[in-house]
Amino acid sequence: MNTLVCVEPGQFRYEHRTPPVPAQGQALLRIRRIGICGTDLHAYEGTQPFFAYPRVLGHELAGELVTPVSGFPVGEAVTFIPYFSCGTCVACRAGRPNCCTHINVCGVHSDGGMGEYLVVPTSALVAGQGLSPDELALVEPLAIGAHGVRRAGVQPGEFVLVVGAGPIGLGIMEFARIAGGQVIALDINEQRLAFCREHLHVAHTVQATAPDVAEQLRAITGGDMPTVVIDATGSLKAINQGFHYLAHGGRYVLVGLQKGELNFSHPEFHKREATLMSSRNATREDFEHVITSMKAGLVRPTTYITHRVPFEQVQSEFSSWLNPATGVIKAMIEVN
C-alpha cells in the first residue's frame, strides 16, 4: 500500500508498505478521507510536543470496514477515536481515558492514517450513522471543540471568547453556541474572522492586532470581560495575553498546545479567583454529541473544507497549507 511518511521536519516521503493484518480485537479500515489539523502542521514544522520522527501522520479519518467486527457490517463507513488508552491508570479508572497516563495518540505516538489501510482497536470504532466520508473525517476535530466547551461548563447567555479561528476554534464556537453561549471570535487574521461571520453567523468578532481589544470586548459584553476564555491557538503569546481578557470569577480553558512555559501575573489571576484548565483530546461522549449535532443540522462542518487534494498530491501541496495567505481553513485528502 502507498503510505506518506514524515521522515523529519519539513520532509515527506511516499513509501510502499505491506497492508497491516488485524490481530484479535482490531479492525482493518480502508481509508477514504484524511483531514489535516494543527497537530499535523506542527509536526511537519517540528513544533509539535510529544512527537518523534519518522512518523505517519493522520488521525482525522473516515474509512470503510474491511474485516468483520461485531455490530459493524463489512463495508460500513466509520470513524474512530484516535486516542488509545490503557484502561487501568488513574485517569482511565476515573472515566477520563482522553488523558490516560500511557495514552497513544494515532498519528502522534504511533503511525496514523496517511495511507490506504489502517488497523485500529475495535473498541475505538464509531459508527457512521449515515454521515458522509467528509463529515466523518471532521467528527474528531469537532469533538475536541465539544470537549473544551464541556470542560468550560458554558452556561446559556454568558459570553465566551474563543481565541483562534482555525478548525479547532471553529468547533469550539459551534458547540459554545449550541450550549447557549454568546460567542466572540478573536483572531489576527481578518479573513478567518470574516469566515466566522459568514459561515458560523458569529455576531461578535475582534481582530487580535487591534490596539483596543480589551475595550472592544467590554463594549460587546456591556462593560465586563467574558466569563469564559478558550484558547485554540497553541501560541504562547496568545495564551499569555488571554489572561487579561478574563472576567473576575471566570474560567480559562487551554485547548491549544505549545512547547514553552506560561507566564502571567499571579496577582492579576489571583484577584479574579479565576479557574485555569487544560482540555486534552475528547471522549466517546463528545464524539456522540458531535454526531447527534451534525445529524440534527446544528453543525455543518463541510463548510470548513477550503482545500481538497488527492492522496498522491499531498507531498507537493502540504507545505502551502502553512501559509495563511492560501486561506486554508480545513484541507481534506481523498484516498481512492
Same domain, 19 and 45: yes
Distance between CA atoms of residues 156 and 177, nearest Å = 9
- At residue 177, the 3 state secondary structure works out as helix
User: What's the domain range around 214?
Assistant: 143-278
Q: Classify residue 264 by burial, with Cβ atoms within 10 Å: 0-12, 13-18, 19+.
A: middle
Which pLDDT score, from 0 to 100, does residue 148 have? 98
| Within a domain: 194 | yes
Q: Residue 153 sits in a domain of what CATH number?
A: 3.40.50.720
Same domain, 326 and 271: no
Domains identified in the chain, total number: 2
Q: Is the pLDDT of residue 48 over 90?
A: no
Provide mean pLDDT across the span 305-313: 96
pLDDT in tens, 200-259: 999 999 999 999 999 999 999 999 999 999 999 989 999 999 999 999 999 999 999 887
Same domain, 38 and 115: yes
Same domain, 56 and 150: no
Which triple of cell numbers denotes residue 7? Answer: 521522515
| Within a domain: 168 | yes
Same domain, 311 and 192: no
Same domain, 151 and 270: yes
Same domain, 153 and 56: no
Which triple of cell numbers denotes residue 220? Answer: 460587546
- Taking a C-beta distance cutoff of 8 angstroms, is the pair 141, 167 a contact? yes
Same domain, 117 and 236: no
Same domain, 18 and 125: yes
pLDDT in tens, 123-132: 999 999 999 9
Contacts of 7 (CB under 8 A, 6+ apart): 13, 53, 54
* Among 145, 189, 135, residue whose Cα is nearest residue 167: 145
Distance between CA atoms of residues 83 and 46, nearest Å = 21
| Within a domain: 293 | no
Q: Residue 75 sits in a domain of what CATH number?
A: 3.90.180.10
pLDDT in tens, 166-204: 999 999 999 999 999 999 999 999 999 999 999 999 999
| Within a domain: 242 | yes
| Within a domain: 294 | no
Give the angle 305-310-311 at the CA atoms, nearest 5°: 110
Same domain, 158 and 258: yes
Instruction: Return the exposure string of 31-64: e unless at least 16 CB atoms fall within 10 Å of the residue's CB, then b.
Output: bbbbbbbbbbbbbbeeebeebeeebbbbbbbbbb
**Which pTM value belongs to this model?**
0.94
Same domain, 18 and 102: yes
Cα(first)–Cα(last) distance of the chain, in Å? 12
Which pLDDT score, from 0 to 100, does residue 116 have? 96
| Within a domain: 66 | yes
